[in-house]
């Protein structure tokens, strides 16, 4: 911002006018200060008068924003307040410009995504510590060996959590809200098994500010056997997501039979 400074003749000055202007320059170095000799059009004009007579003329001065008549040292307070407010506005605008506007992620009914993970005893132990589920069927090899499974079984919820991971990180992706899930656990998962979790976008209902999406989820072991199947619903804010074909609907033959 260009700030013009015009002094009166100084015939009866009651304060150090130059010092007050210098303080403004020090406090607000982002602005350019000019004298009247440099031109008559500025964003702000400071007409610095040395006394209450305020005899300095403003004729010919063009202020795009504000013109201050400053007859006393105290008059500079309003200038500082004004410039501080302008600085705050400028800083806010700079911050807003620095943050890129987030584009909406396009989605399509029928879209799929997947991930793969191998489960080990360490994964089960960490999950047990996190949830408090230390069932010996999962954590005790001797106890599990005497069961119908013959060895420790990975927690079913831990296996199915891969479906949530796919939905939270890939489809729909970050920002979605998981609101409903129905799961069937069909086969056990053992230490060392590699599970692939796949998610398919089946349909959605459109509201004013969000979509309510229905998704199928399938977990298969390394032999291609389904170990868990899920039907899920996700909330997807329209500020983050855009469903390109919201009226469409698809099925998932691998999971449809479970929810008839």
Domain at 225, CATH number: 3.10.129.10
| Residue 146 belongs to some domain of the structure | no
* Co-location of 17 and 111 in the same domain: no
Taking the C-alpha atoms of residue 181 and residue 195, their distance in angstroms, rounded to an integer, is: 19
> Would you say residue 99 has pLDDT above 70?
no
The neighbour count for residue 241, using CB atoms within 10 Å, is 21
* Co-location of 208 and 82 in the same domain: no
Task: Give the range of the structural domain holding residue 168, as residue numbers without chain letter.
Answer: 105-119+154-259
* Co-location of 110 and 84 in the same domain: no
List the alpha helices (DSSP H) in the chain: 17-27, 76-98, 121-131, 136-139, 141-145, 156-169, 253-256
pLDDT class of 101 with cuts at 50, 70, 90: low
pLDDT class of 100 with cuts at 50, 70, 90: low
| Residue 43 belongs to some domain of the structure | yes
| Residue 10 belongs to some domain of the structure | yes
* Co-location of 38 and 19 in the same domain: yes
| Residue 85 belongs to some domain of the structure | yes
Question: How much is the average pLDDT of 208-212?
Answer: 94
Taking the C-alpha atoms of residue 90 and residue 96, their distance in angstroms, rounded to an integer, is: 10
Higher pLDDT, 70 or 259: 70
Look at residue 96 in the predicted model and tell me its pLDDT: 77
Look at residue 88 in the predicted model and tell me its pLDDT: 94
| Residue 133 belongs to some domain of the structure | no
* Co-location of 89 and 181 in the same domain: no
CA-angle at 171, arms to 166 and 174, nearest 5°: 85
* Co-location of 91 and 181 in the same domain: no
| Residue 225 belongs to some domain of the structure | yes
Look at residue 35 in the predicted model and tell me its pLDDT: 87
| Residue 136 belongs to some domain of the structure | no
| Residue 44 belongs to some domain of the structure | yes
* Co-location of 71 and 195 in the same domain: no
Look at residue 256 in the predicted model and tell me its pLDDT: 83
The pLDDT tens digits of the residues spanning 134-149 come to: 999 999 999 999 999 9
Taking the C-alpha atoms of residue 167 and residue 153, their distance in angstroms, rounded to an integer, is: 25
pLDDT class of 162 with cuts at 50, 70, 90: very high
* Co-location of 250 and 228 in the same domain: yes
Domain count, the chain: 2
Look at residue 97 in the predicted model and tell me its pLDDT: 78
Contact (Cβ atoms closer than 8 angstroms) between residue 49 and residue 71: yes
């Amino acid at each position: 911002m260009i700030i013009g400074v015009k002094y009166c003749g100084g015939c009866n000055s009651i304060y150090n006018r130059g010092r007050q202007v210098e303080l403004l320059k020090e406090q607000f170095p982002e602005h350019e200060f000019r004298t009247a000799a440099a031109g008559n059009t500025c964003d702000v004009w400071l007409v610095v008068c040395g006394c209450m007579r305020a005899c300095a003329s403003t004729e010919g001065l063009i202020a795009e924003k504000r013109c201050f008549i400053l007859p006393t040292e105290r008059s500079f307070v309003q200038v500082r307040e004004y410039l501080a407010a302008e600085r705050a506005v400028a800083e806010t605008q700079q911050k807003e410009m620095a943050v890129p506007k987030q584009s909406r992620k396009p989605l399509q009914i029928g879209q799929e995504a997947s991930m793969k993970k191998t489960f080990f005893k360490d994964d089960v132990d960490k999950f047990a510590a996190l949830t408090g589920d230390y069932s010996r069927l999962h954590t005790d090899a001797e106890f599990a060996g005497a069961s119908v499974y013959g060895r420790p079984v990975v927690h079913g919820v831990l296996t199915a959590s891969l479906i949530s991971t796919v939905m939270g990180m890939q489809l729909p992706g970050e920002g979605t809200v998981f609101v409903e899930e129905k799961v069937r656990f069909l086969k056990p998962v053992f230490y060392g098994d590699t599970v692939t979790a796949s998610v398919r976008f089946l349909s959605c209902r459109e509201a004013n500010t969000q979509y309510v999406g229905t998704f199928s989820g399938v977990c298969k072991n390394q032999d291609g056997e389904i170990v868990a199947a899920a039907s899920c619903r996700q909330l997807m804010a329209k500020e983050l997501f855009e469903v390109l074909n919201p009226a469409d609907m698809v099925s998932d033959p691998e999971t449809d039979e479970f929810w008839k």
